[in-house]
Amino acid sequence: MWYRNHEPEMFAKIHQVIGTKDYCNYRFTGRLCTDASYASGSGVFNLHTWQYEADYIRAAGLDASLFPEILSSDAVIGTLTEEAARETGLNPATKVMAGGVDNSCMALGAGGIRAGEVYTSLGSSAWIALIDDKPILDFQRKPYVFAHLIPGLYTSATCIFSAGNSYRWVRDTLCMDLLQHEKETGVNAYVQMDKLAATSVPGSNGVCFNPSLAGGSMLEPSPFICGAFAGLQLGHTRADLIRAAMEGIALNLRVALDLLQSYSPVTRDMLIVGGGAKSPFWMQLFADIYHLPIVKTNIDQEAASLGAAALALKGTGLWSDYQPISQLHQVERRYQPQEETALFYQEKILPRFRQLTQLLGVF
């Protein structure tokens, strides 16, 4: 609609609007199509019928022909064109699946193959997702909702825009010597940061960090919120700031978890995937701040890739269903909340974090 109103000459040239993976599929096969997970982000998708809603399209003043055919995520849309086979060196008989949007691929790869599954994705951004047979629809707080890759399921999520990104900023800004040490010795700077953070104490000696360095999501009081360290004194150390950053990201996700729990209580272990799951120290922080057992498996940050691969395996008939995903997740470690520390975070630190967030929303 923005292009129609502001770039009418370009808009007039549009045949269909497709997603990035759909464009790749088009170049591979010559077929224009999408899947329900991608279509569910179009703004004209009916989450109940899993089809485009004609009334929404008419209300937007758009032509229905702009929207591509919707197929199952694991549908074979075709094989390679002669040009694609020649350019890639792949066999022309190679089958191409419809595929799915990244969030839904991660939901599948994280083991979300049935209603009730929940996981935290701890990457550059971060979210907590619930897999259910009903979408979470809240027009005030607006959690994200995507059609799952498995028909009849939905991925509903609360999120923060900057998690690993904020922690990377701390590394690049406050720990440049550790980065140099990594280049010289190969010792990962994040591992050294874990060790420094462990020398501080729960609550980081009074330092509180809000990680909203990329603006606010639906959780925050303003989309323009900025991040901050608060409570700094001359006696604070770099270790306090590092730990405060790790705590702040986990606390922000605890706020996201509390919102998700207002819709559907989370009573089971929390699987964490993504690059952040590689840090044992951080996983224990999450167990204490979430006040839930945390599970770390061998999949780590490959959950979305596993979900995409699973579509190909089922679409080509090598798998009859998605049950093997559960078997591929091998639990490497469980982290239990330390009750005294968990209560300290819940009763003392979380309220301070919430207060800081409100102040930053009007700063």
Q: Note the pLDDT tens digit of each residue in 117-157.
A: 999 999 999 999 999 999 999 988 889 999 999 999 999 99
Amino acid 218: pLDDT: 86
Owner of token pair 């559960």: 326
- pLDDT(169) > 80: yes
Q: Could you read off the pLDDT of 38-95 as tens digits, one per residue?
A: 999 999 999 999 999 999 999 999 999 999 999 999 999 999 999 999 999 999 999 9
Amino acid 268: pLDDT: 80
- pLDDT(267) > 80: no
pTM, two decimal places: 0.91
- pLDDT(1) > 90: no
9 CB-contact burial (10 Å; exposed 0-12 / middle 13-18 / buried 19+): exposed
d(C-alpha 189, C-alpha 201), whole Å: 20
d(C-alpha 177, C-alpha 196), whole Å: 13
Identical fold at 1-100 and 102-363?
Answer: yes
The percent of residues in the chain predicted with pLDDT above 70, rounded, is: 100
The CATH number of the structural domain formed by 1-100 is: 3.30.420.40
The CATH number of the structural domain formed by 102-363 is: 3.30.420.40
Report the DSSP pairing between strands 33-35 and 69-71: parallel
Cβ contact 334:285 at 8 Å? no
**Amino acid letter, 271:** L
Instruction: Choose from 3-7, 101-105, 241-245 the range with maximum mean pLDDT.
Output: 241-245
* 3-class SS of residue 219: coil
**HSE-up (13 A, CA, CB side) for residue 85:** 12
d(C-alpha 239, C-alpha 259), whole Å: 30
Q: Could you read off the pLDDT of 177-213 as tens digits, one per residue?
A: 999 999 999 999 999 999 999 999 999 999 999 999 9
Average model confidence (pLDDT) across the chain: 95
Question: Domain spans of the chain?
Answer: 1-100, 102-363
